[in-house]
Amino acid sequence: MSATAHSLAARDIRVYFEGVRAIDGVDLTLERGDILGLIGPNGAGKTTLVNVITGVQEPLSGSVGLDHLDITHWSAPRRARAGLARTFQGARLFDRLTVHENLEVGAVASGVGRRAARALTRDLLQTFSLDDVASREARALPHGLARRVGVARALSTHPRFLLLDEPAAGLDEHESADLASLLRHVRDEFELGLVVIEHDVPFIMSLSERVQVLDHGKTLAIGSPAEVTRNPEVVAAYLGEQTTEQTIA
C-alpha cells in the first residue's frame, strides 16, 4: 500500500497486547497542511496508533504509507529521515544541554551540516520566542517553555508531518491559547501536516480542522469540530453531558 503525494496514511491498523485489542482496524489519513485532532478516553489507542505510524510499535496487521512509499516495516529513524517527526507526552529534552544546544543537536541528527544547523536553530529560537532562554539549561525551564522547546526540536529535523502527543498537557488557559496559535503558524510556515493528541477539548477543537475520535481501539467518529461535538456517540463516550457550543468557540 502507498499513500498519495504529500500524504500520510495508515490503513486497517491492528495492535493486540496479550489479547487486548489496543487498535482494532483503524484508518488515519493526513495531507500536508492539515491539522487533525486525535481524541478519546484514556486507553482508546491514540498513542499506540501514533507509535505505529512513527515506527515505535510494530502492528499486527495493516499498513502505513508516506507519499508514494509503503513504510510499514521501516525503522523509526528511517521514517524520521523521510519526514516524520513526533513529540512524546513528556518533553524528553537533554536536561543538561541548553535550549540552543537541544535544537542544534536535533538538526545535526537529521543530517544537515553544522552551519545549516546553526542557521535553522536561530530561526526556530525566533519563531518560538525562545531567544531569551537560549542559553538556559533545559532542566531549568518551566513546564510551558519545556513543551515549546520540545516542539521546536521536533521541527529541527525538517519534517513534513509532525505528530504531537499531548502538547498542551499541564498548560494553563493562556499558555494553551498561545500554543494553539503557534502551531497554526508552524503549520503555515513549515507547510506541515499535524496530528495532535490531546485531552484538552477546547484546545483541540479550536486548533483542529478535522477531529478523529477513538474509543476501545476503534474510530468512533471523524469530522469537523462542530460535527464531532454534536455527535451523540462521542458525547456519551468521551465529551460528557456538559458539552456545549462553547467547546468549539
List per-residue pLDDT tens for the chain, 249 residues long.
Answer: 445 558 999 999 999 998 899 999 999 999 999 999 999 999 999 999 999 999 999 999 999 999 989 999 999 999 998 999 998 876 688 999 999 999 998 888 777 788 889 999 999 999 999 999 999 999 999 988 898 899 999 998 889 999 999 999 888 899 899 999 999 999 999 899 999 999 999 999 999 999 999 999 999 999 999 999 999 999 988 877 444 444 433
Neighbours of 153 (CB within 10 A): 27
Alpha-carbon gap, residue 152 to 174, rounded angstroms: 19
Contact 153, 129 (CB under 8 A): no
Domain ranges of the chain: 7-90+159-248
What is the second-level CATH architecture of the domain 7-90+159-248? 3-Layer(aba) Sandwich (3.40)
Q: What is the pLDDT of residue 241?
A: 45
**Grid coordinates representing 123?**
530561526
Q: pTM for this one?
A: 0.88
Contact 84, 163 (CB under 8 A): yes
Q: What is the pLDDT of residue 3?
A: 56
How would you label 124-145 residue by residue, b for 16+ Cβ within 10 Å and e otherwise? bbeebebeebbeebbeebeebb
Q: What is the pLDDT of residue 246?
A: 42
Q: List, in order, residues 6 or more apart from 238 with CB less than 8 Å away.
A: 39, 40, 41, 213, 215, 220
Alpha-carbon gap, residue 160 to 154, rounded angstroms: 11
Contact 107, 120 (CB under 8 A): yes
Alpha-carbon gap, residue 58 to 75, rounded angstroms: 10
- 195: helix, strand or coil: strand
